[in-house]
Structure 1
Amino acid sequence: MEILRLRFIAGDQPDLPLDVGMHRIGQLPGGGIGRIDGDPIAMLCVDRRGVWLTVGEGRRGVHVNGRPVQRLAMLRRGDTLHIEGAELRLLGGAPVRRPGVGELATPADAAAGLHIVLRAIGGRHHGRSFTLDRPRLVGSHAEADIHIDDPAFAERHARVELVGGEVLLRDLGSADGSIVNGESVRDALLQPGDQVVFDAYHRFVVEAPLGGGSREQALPEVELPLDEDALPRRRPWPLPWLLLTALLIAGLLSLLLLYGAD
């Protein structure tokens, strides 16, 4: 299971590894925000389903990606948290994959790109999805597929495209690059579930059908032997009881006819 990390943007605190279990986040005795044992401002629950943020009873000042959280929120890699003014970022356990020279030149597969989308979860395009059947230009240019309406943002910031079965984020000479799963990058190979952030506010998640982006080899079909103990047992047919009941009724009728005739 991937071990995520919580990074404190300000200060000199080391990254906090988030293994499976409950992590209490609150005010440190010397000031600042960190993991504590006492009454927390928020708690992070990590299990195989993901990371869940729970805000302490009566607490305020907890935000995820700029939005206030009243009670509960599910977190993704790359999410930004603000807790009592402190900024933290949830990072993936594995580093973001960088493409090789050959991967940058591999031709795209337009048909496969219809099933892979960039879904906007924050910013101007929130709720929209962009298929990767063709390269998608990100920038402030009027003809950009993913238009960022900010004069300070590069006209041609980056391009997201499908190459050789992989989703490639290709930088086009931007000043600051992009953020993938909380890490600053230029070029990156994206996987389903990865979060990409442009200009700090425009957030997208890569989504694909189950198994669509997997590079694992398919396992051969194996015929398993039958387990006789696991098969449902047939209930015995209640024929003896029916026969006994029929004989008893016949005997009672015979007695009734015999004594009733007198």
Structure 2
Amino acid sequence: MRGYVLEVADAAPAIHVNARQVRRRALLHAGDQISIGGAQLLVLGEHAPEPCPERVTPDVALAPGAVALRGVGGVRSGAVLMVAPTLELGADGLPLGPSVDDARVRLFAVQGRPALLASGLAAAAWPRVNGHTVASAWLQDGDQIAIGAQRYIVDAPAAAARAAAAAAFIPHEAARPEDTAGPRREVWWLLLTAAVIALVLALLLAVRR
């Protein structure tokens, strides 16, 4: 979801987006939580993320900056957490220390495609991606992840570039009829016109004889 703006009137009660008060206006993103008094609203993404299989082979190495989390809410707001090549967060959304239990959210990449996998967490503690509760998900550049009180934006510029290139390329065999209808219709129209003219000339010659 892109391009939605929340505007606050002068007489409106205090409105917060992700625990930050909005004075005038705020650009909303999928996964944002809006608080109006005691009411809580969650902005959902248009589609639920595609789940990632539990049995995948993560990349053993990633280029620096290929996948990262940018903190936008909670105590890690403003910080950048690198996925290099994996990143493990606890149920509170903070990086795990050396002494950890089995409850964790793991971030990694498979052939450069970012992914998230939660393990050992109760369903109520599963992370949310663009507002949708998930146990696993393939991630995209710009996705918002909420884990506990922490919120992160996925930065994966290389994955975004690959997705854009794949969407722009249409194989010849997959081209739809309307993609090539213009030139072919012009050719058939010329052939039909030539045939009609030839038929009229033949009739005129036959009448004169």
- The 5 Å alignment of 1:118-133 reads 118-133=69-84
Counterpart amino acid of 1:84? G
Q: Aligned residues: percent identity?
A: 31
Give the whole-Å Cα distance in 2 for the aligned partners of 1:169 and 1:212: 20
Is the contact between residue 140 and residue 155 of structure 1 (CA under 8 Å) also seen in structure 2?
A: no
Give the superposition deviation at 1:113: 5.7
Following TM superposition, by how much is the alpha carbon of 1:167 offset from its aligned partner in structure 2, in angstroms? 1.0
Q: Give the counterpart of 1:116 among 67, 77, 101.
A: 67
| Partner of residue 93, structure 1 | 46
Q: Which residue of 1 aligns with 2:120?
A: 173
Supply the distance in 1 between the matched residues of 2:91 and 2:134 (Cα, whole angstroms). Answer: 19
Task: Provide closer, same or farther for how the CA distance between residues 192 and 172 of structure 1 changes in structure 2, counting only shifts above 3 A.
Answer: same
Are 2:151 and 1:203 aligned?
A: yes
Asked if residue 59 in structure 1 is aligned to residue 12 in structure 2, the reply is: yes
Deviation digits for residues 17-41 of structure 1 (CA, Å, limit 9, x no counterpart)? xxxxxxxxxxxxxxxxxxxxxxxxx
Change (3 A) 1:185 1:117: same
TM-score normalised by the chain length of structure 2: 0.68
Q: 1:93 corresponds to which letter in structure 2?
A: E
Unaligned runs of 5+ in 1: 5-48, 221-262
Higher RCO structure (Cα 8 Å, ≥6 apart) = 2
- State whether residues 51 and 137 of structure 2, in contact with CA within 8 Å, keep that contact through their aligned partners in structure 1: yes
Which residue identity is paired with 2:119?
Answer: L
CA positional deviation for 1:154: 6.3
Shift of the alpha carbon at 1:196? 0.6
Matched residue count: 164
Closer, same or farther in 2 for the Cα pair 1:147/1:106, shift >3 Å?
closer
| Structure-2 separation of matches of 1:206 and 1:81 | 20
Could you say which residue in structure 2 is the equivalent of 1:139?
Answer: 90
Q: Relative to total residues, which structure has the larger helix share, 1 or 2?
A: 2
After superposition, the Cα gap between the structure-2 partners of 1:155 and 1:213, relative to the gap in structure 1 and judged at 3 Å, is farther
Deviation of 1:145 after TM superposition, in Å, equals: 7.2
**Partner AA of 1:198 in structure 2:** I
Residue 178 of structure 1: how far off its partner (Å): 0.9
Structure 2: stretches of 5+ with no match in the other structure: 171-209
Tell me how far 1:85 sits from its aligned partner.
2.2
Equivalent of 1:183, from 128, 132, 144? 132
Alignment of 1:1-262 (within 5 A): 50-100=3-53, 104-108=55-59, 110-112=61-63, 114-139=65-90, 146-147=95-96, 156-175=103-122, 176-199=125-148, 201-209=149-157, 211-214=160-163, 216-217=165-166, 219=169
